[in-house]
Amino acid sequence: MTVEAIEAILSRRSIRKYADSPVSEADVKTLMECAMAAPSADNQQPWQYVVVADRDVLNGIAVAHPYAQMCREATLAVVVCGDVGNAKYPDYWQQDCAAATQNILVAAQALGLGACWCGVYPSQKCVIAIRELLGIPETATPLCVIAVGHPAEQKPPGNRYDASRVHKNHW
């Protein structure tokens, strides 16, 4: 791992305020490439993504999800979904999609973008609302919404390391 990758991981913070400037198509493609580079059980890659840049749909996400109000300011959102329609190991979609989500968050930081992960699953109310808003098929479940944009706030890196949570050889 390069120093730049470690810096992106350690400096990443949830950003909820965004400038009114669109995310470039090149950056969107990079975010998606990074998402799809995530590991998955037996390489089944159960993920599907809905990339939202339409203002009315972004506002609709904020209506459908009580903790995704930052989508009203974000110029982009990525909805990460697990599609188990053809999955060999359907019980691992949450882990696979969480790894993809983390890749998006770190990539956004590395690109100078701000992002915020808003969990959807397992809240059935949020799952149904997001599924209906975006026309997500029944075989797919939205894991989360990631608000993305050019940050209008800066947060210092947080040091969350806690040695008391590290156990060696046994608990």
For 67, other C-beta atoms within 10 Å of its C-beta total: 13
Domain of 91 in residue numbering reads as 12-154
In a domain, residue 139? The reply is yes
Q: How many helices (H) and strands (E) does the chain have?
A: 5, 4
Asked which of 1-15, 35-49, 58-72, 88-102 is least confident by mean pLDDT, the reply is 1-15
Summary mean pLDDT of the chain: 96
* 169 occurs within a structural domain: no
pLDDT tens digits, residue range 54-84?
A: 999 999 999 999 999 999 999 999 999 999 9
Establish if 129 belongs to a structural domain: yes
Say which amino acid occupies 89. Y
Residue 85: which CATH number? 3.40.109.10
pLDDT of amino acid 1: 43
Write out the H or E segment, with its range, that includes residue 76.
strand 76-83
6: in domain:
no
d(CA 139, CA 147): 24
- Of 124, 115, 139, nearest in space to 31 by CA: 115
Element (H, E) at 5: helix 3-11
> Quick one: DSSP state of residue 71?
G
pTM: 0.95
> pLDDT-based confidence at 98, cuts 50/70/90?
very high
Q: In the block, which residue shows the tokens 């965004």?
A: 18
Residue 112 inside a domain? The answer is yes
Residue 17 lies in a domain: yes
**Domains held by the chain: number:** 1
pLDDT value at position 135? 98
Quickly state the pLDDT bin for 86 (edges 50, 70, 90).
Answer: confident
Query: What are the φ/ψ torsions at residue 168 (nearest 5 degrees)?
Result: -115, 125
Based on its alpha-carbon atoms, the radius of gyration of the chain, rounded to whole angstroms, reads: 16
